[in-house]
């Protein structure tokens, strides 16, 4: 009987470790399709992103992972705000002047197109998601109505055949195959004042709703599973010296996932003026754990606010989403350890009582 138990525990240990090993990586060649719900399924390396075809929302995950975690990024709103004089210029709720809720508009996606390098060689695949209707801007103080016009906001979604190093705003950044680059373009925002700024609100969720921030002041975790009090101000995101800034979707203490999702953004943006002059502007950020009612459902989110200075013409910014990792999930380590301990206990019992075991087998 004990021999059967030992065999079963040994098989269990091997099975658990086999489950922990990552599945074969997907082909690095990007792929795309459109399902019956008009959702765009975009794959890049070991990453799958599912983009809603009618709103700027995306869910992404490691393609072949068993017991995978899912991560959600929703580009929620554009917000004009009046920064406090002498402050850091990051978004603060009480400074809000007006907002356009992005998922209240109609969005359309383009056909898929090849992404080429300067030598006209195909290096990836992309598609565009573009605002196709006007969105009213809701101002905190009544005044002259304004709208965010159709075609004034778009998201260029791109994935690459191999890891690419490219220049963004005269800075070098690297895009991996398990990463999707999203170029946000905003044109002709009708600012109320030249002293105001514009913030892009990005709402994030996951199975665990904890987020790891890598800031210039150090690393720490934010619990967004419970919203902060309404009177709590947004927290400044302290940029590192790196060009790319990082927010990780943290895994729980026990997880079946061997990968970690991330959202990255470049701390500069490009402005093309009405005359065609090109310049680089700084991007600052703030964050808060808060609830929001998206598409009728109230959920808790990690809210990131990317703030841009006043501009006339077109602004382009370069965030990206992806997954990284590939280690052994903590839940499998615990289960494997328990199975190994059980196996060791049976072996010890058999070693300490060989006579009893032999007599039992003889009978």
Domain residue ranges in the chain: 2-20+331-362, 31-327
Quick count: other Cβ atoms within 10 Å of Cβ 266? 20
Mean pLDDT of 241-265: 82
**343-355 per-position pLDDT tens digit:** 444 444 454 554 4
Among residues 176, 116, 165, which one has the least CA distance to residue 322? 176
Mean pLDDT of 183-199: 97
Backbone angles phi, psi at 167, to 5 degrees: -100, 125
Q: Kindly report the CATH class assigned to 31-327.
A: mainly beta
Determine the pLDDT at residue 168: 77
Instruction: Give burial (CB, 10 Å; 0-12/13-18/19+) of 86.
Output: exposed
Determine the pLDDT at residue 340: 43
Contact 24, 326 (CB under 8 A): no
Mean pLDDT of 173-191: 95
Mean pLDDT of 175-195: 95
pTM of the model: 0.83
Quick one: pLDDT band at residue 26, thresholds 50, 70, 90?
very low
Mean pLDDT of 76-93: 92
């Amino acid at each position: 009987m004990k021999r059967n138990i030992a065999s079963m525990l040994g098989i269990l240990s091997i099975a658990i470790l086999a489950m922990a090993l990552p599945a074969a990586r997907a082909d690095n060649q990007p792929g795309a399709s459109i399902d019956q719900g008009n959702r765009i399924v975009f794959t890049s390396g070991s990453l799958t992103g599912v983009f809603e075809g009618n709103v700027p929302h995306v869910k992404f995950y490691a393609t072949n992972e068993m017991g995978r975690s899912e991560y959600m990024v929703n580009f929620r709103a554009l917000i004009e705000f009046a920064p406090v004089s002498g402050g850091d210029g990051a978004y603060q709720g009480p400074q809000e002047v007006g907002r356009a809720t992005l998922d209240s508009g109609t969005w359309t996606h383009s056909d898929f197109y090849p992404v080429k390098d300067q030598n006209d060689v195909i290096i990836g695949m992309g598609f565009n998601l573009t605002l196709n209707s006007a969105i009213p801007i809701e101002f905190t103080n009544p005044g002259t109505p304004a709208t965010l016009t159709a075609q004034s906001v778009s998201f260029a979604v791109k994935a690459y055949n191999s890891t690419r190093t490219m220049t963004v705003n005269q800075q070098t950044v690297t895009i991996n195959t398990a990463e999707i680059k999203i170029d946000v373009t905003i044109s002709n925002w009708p600012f109320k004042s030249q002293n105001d700024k514009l913030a892009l609100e990005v709402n994030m969720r996951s199975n665990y709703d904890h987020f790891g921030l890598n800031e210039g002041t150090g690393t720490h975790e934010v619990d967004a599973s419970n919203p902060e009090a309404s009177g709590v101000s947004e927290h400044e995101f302290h940029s590192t010296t790196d060009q790319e800034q990082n927010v990780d979707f943290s895994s729980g203490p026990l997880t079946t996932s061997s990968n970690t999702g991330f959202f990255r953004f470049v701390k500069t943006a490009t402005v093309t003026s009405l005359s065609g002059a090109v310049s680089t502007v700084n991007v600052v950020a703030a964050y808060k754990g808060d609830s929001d009612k998206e598409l009728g459902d109230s959920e808790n989110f990690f809210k990131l606010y990317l703030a841009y200075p006043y501009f006339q013409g077109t602004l382009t910014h370069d965030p990206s989403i992806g997954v990284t990792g590939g280690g052994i999930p903590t839940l499998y380590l615990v289960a494997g350890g328990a199975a190994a301990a059980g196996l060791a206990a049976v072996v010890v019992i058999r070693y300490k009582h060989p006579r009893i075991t032999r007599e039992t087998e003889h009978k």
